[in-house]
Structure 1
Amino acid sequence: MSTPFDPGPLLGEHVHLEPLTPDHVGELAAAADDPAIFRWTGSVVSDDTTARAYIDAALADTSRRAFLQRDARTGIAVGTTSYYQIDASNRSVAIGYTWLSRSAQGTRINPESKFLLLEHAFGSADVVRVEWHTDALNEQSRAAIGKLGAQFEGLLRKHRRRVDGTWRTTALFSMTDDEWPAARDVLRTRIDG
C-alpha cells in the first residue's frame, strides 16, 4: 500500500533519488568508495554482500523509506538517504541514514537531496516537523544539518550504540513547517549558486 512517503523518484538537477531496491546492490557497493564514509554510521557497505544486507535491512524497516542517490549528470550511484521514524498521526518524519561516496561530498548533491526530501515532506506528505539525528561528535554532519536551516534542539545521551559497541550521544535537530519557507529559499539559492 502506497503512502505519502512512497513518492517514487524525486528528481533534481544534480541528484535523482530512486526508491532503493535489491537491484541496486552492485551500484551501492561501488558507491562505497572509502571506508571513512561509514565512521559515524551504524552499518558499513564494502562489497555486494554488505550492500545486500544494507538494502535488506532498509526494506525490512516499515518506518523507513530508503533512496539511492544518483548523480543526475553522470548517472552514477553515489550513496543513500532515507525518511525514517515516519509518524503519520503526529505528522512528523526524520531524514537520515545518509552517506555519500567521497566523489560526491562537497558537491550540490547533498543539499539538493535534502531539498527534494524536505519539499516532498512539507508539501505532498503534509508533515509539520522533520528531524535529524547525528552522532554528537560528528562535526561535519552537524554543520551540514545546520546549513539546511535546521535548529539544534539538544543532546540525547547514551541514545544509540555505535558499531564499535560504545554509546553514542545523539545531537537532535529539527525544522517545522513554519520554518520551511525561509529555509527553502536559502537552500534553493545555495543549490543554484
Structure 2
Amino acid sequence: MKGPWFEQPTLTGDYVRLEPLTLAHAEDLCRAADDPTLFRWTWRPIESVSDATEYITHALDDPQRLAYVQIDAATGVVVGTTSYYQIDPLHQSLAIGYTWLSRSAQGGRINPEAKLLLLRRAFEDLGAVRVEWHTDELNAHSRGAIAKLGAEFEGLLRKHRRRLDGSWRNTALFSMIDDDWPFARTQLEARISE
C-alpha cells in the first residue's frame, strides 16, 4: 500500500524515539522483554532472540500495521514496541496498539510521549478524524492507561478476538476523534512536562 498513511517516519521526542521496527531489533527487543507478564494479553512471552524474531516477523507481515520500536532517547536502549494498525485512509482512521514497554521503563514519560507523537502524526500530519484502541475487557491496566490518554470508552465488541489459550475475548473499544485532540494534546503535554 502506498501514500502518506503508510509512510513510517521516525518520530522523535525528548524522552522517546519511535523507529520503524526491523529484524535487526530482535536482540534488543529480547532484552527489553524483562517480564513475561507484559505479554499476558497479547502474545507469547519473548524469552529468546528467536521469539523476538517471530514477533517482529508477525508484525512486519501485516500490511495494515506499521510497527515501531520504542527507544529511550536518553540512553538509546530499546524499551518496547507500539504500532499503528487498521489503517484506513478512506475513512481517515487508524488504531494504536500492540504496545508493550519493559517494566524498567514504565511509569515515566516514555509511554505518554510515544502516544503524543503517534497522535500528533495521526491528527495533524495525516488528517485523521478517528483513532481507536482495542484491549481485552479484562485488562484493567491497559484500559486505565488508554482512558488516561483522553480516549473515550465506546463499548465492548463481543467475542471479537481469540486469546492465546483459545478462549474468546470481548474487546474494550476506545476512541479519540479530531474534536477531542486539542484538549487531549494539552493534557498529554502537561503530563510529559511534570
Q: TM-score category by the smaller chain?
A: over 0.9
Q: What secondary structure is seen at the aligned counterpart in 1 of 2:29?
A: helix
8 Å contact kept, 2:130–2:177: yes
8 Å contact kept, 1:4–1:124: no
Shift of 1:2: 5.3
Shift of 1:43: 4.0
In structure 1, what residue type is equivalent to 2:10?
P
In structure 1, what residue type is equivalent to 2:5?
P
2:115 equivalent in structure 1: 114
Q: How does 1:64-83 map onto structure 2 within 5 Å?
A: 64-83=65-84
Deviations 1:2-27 (A, max 9, x none): 53342311001111000001110101
In structure 2, what residue type is equivalent to 1:187?
L
1:155 equivalent in structure 2: 156
In structure 2, what residue type is equivalent to 1:103?
S
1:27 equivalent in structure 2: 28
2:90 is the alignment partner of 1:89: yes
Name the TM-score, length of structure 1 as normaliser. Answer: 0.97
In structure 1, what residue type is equivalent to 2:192?
I
2:168 equivalent in structure 1: 167
Q: How does 1:53-72 map onto structure 2 within 5 Å?
A: 53-72=54-73
Give % identity: 60
Residue ranges of structure 2 left out of the alignment (5+ in a row) = none
CA distance in 1, matches of 2:158, 2:44: 20
Q: What secondary structure is seen at the aligned counterpart in 1 of 2:4?
A: coil
8 Å contact kept, 1:5–1:125: no
Q: Which runs of 4+ in 1 moved over 6 A?
A: none
Deviations 1:102-156 (A, max 9, x none): 1011111111100000000001111100000001111110010001000000001
Q: What secondary structure is seen at the aligned counterpart in 1 of 2:125?
A: coil
Residue ranges of structure 1 left out of the alignment (5+ in a row) = none
2:55 is the alignment partner of 1:40: no
2:193 is the alignment partner of 1:192: yes
2:143 is the alignment partner of 1:142: yes
In structure 2, what residue type is equivalent to 1:32?
A
2:102 is the alignment partner of 1:104: no
Report the count of equivalent residues: 193
8 Å contact kept, 2:37–2:45: no
In structure 1, what residue type is equivalent to 2:157?
L
CA distance in 1, matches of 2:5, 2:35: 33
Shift of 1:44: 3.2
8 Å contact kept, 1:153–1:172: yes
8 Å contact kept, 2:65–2:87: yes
Cα RMSD of the aligned pairs, angstroms, is 1.0
CA distance in 2, matches of 1:59, 1:116: 21
CA distance in 2, matches of 1:137, 1:22: 31
Name the TM-score, length of structure 2 as normaliser. Answer: 0.97
